[in-house]
Amino acid sequence: MAAQPAAPQTDTEGFGRWESPLQRCELLWPRQGEQLSKRSPCVKIRVDQTIEGMLRVRFINGLAGSRYASEELTFAGLLLQQDQPMHCRSGSCQPSWPLRLQVHGVATRRFDPRGIADHLPHNQLARGSCKLEAQQLECQASDRSGQRWEAVAQLQNTASRQETSNRNN
């Protein structure tokens, strides 16, 4: 019996994370138990690719007084067919701009100054879209009852992101 050639080895994986500080960001989202949506800033974006084409886009607002306190608004969905998934290696990813998502759900969560969740994460079925480009990020979604979630942000310029990355390493 003849030996079969081994499958080609690749240096990429289909999953991982990319994150970046933000220069400007504004979130609009309903808070649990409150009638009106509120606006809040955010300081970082984190994009998780669980499998190729399935992404979670998380906007993070660090709350004053603690490095662990934060609020997070997440849009989850599928990458549009014409866009390329992120290139990931050893759990770290690099986006292939643009990333456009068809959003199927949103999630919110909040952590206290000790980093402990204030309440259970709130997950909601919603329809919407995200458009992530090299500098501009926009996501929006709404549910059947009319609740809306929005995020508009601008990435720091490339030189600032590289400097931040070097400090973190």
The owner of tokens 């059947």 is 144
pLDDT, residue 139, reads 98
Identify the pLDDT of residue 160.
Answer: 43
pLDDT at 99: 96
Note the Cα 78 to chain centre separation in Å: 12
Tell me how many degrees the CA angle 127-118-20 measures, rounded to the nearest 5: 60
pLDDT of residue 39: 85
CB atoms inside a 10 Å sphere around CB 103: 21
d(CA 4, CA 141): 49
62: pLDDT strictly greater than 90: no
More confident residue, 61 or 30: 61
* Confidence (pTM): 0.83
Range name among 32-46, 68-82, 101-115 with the lowest pLDDT average = 32-46
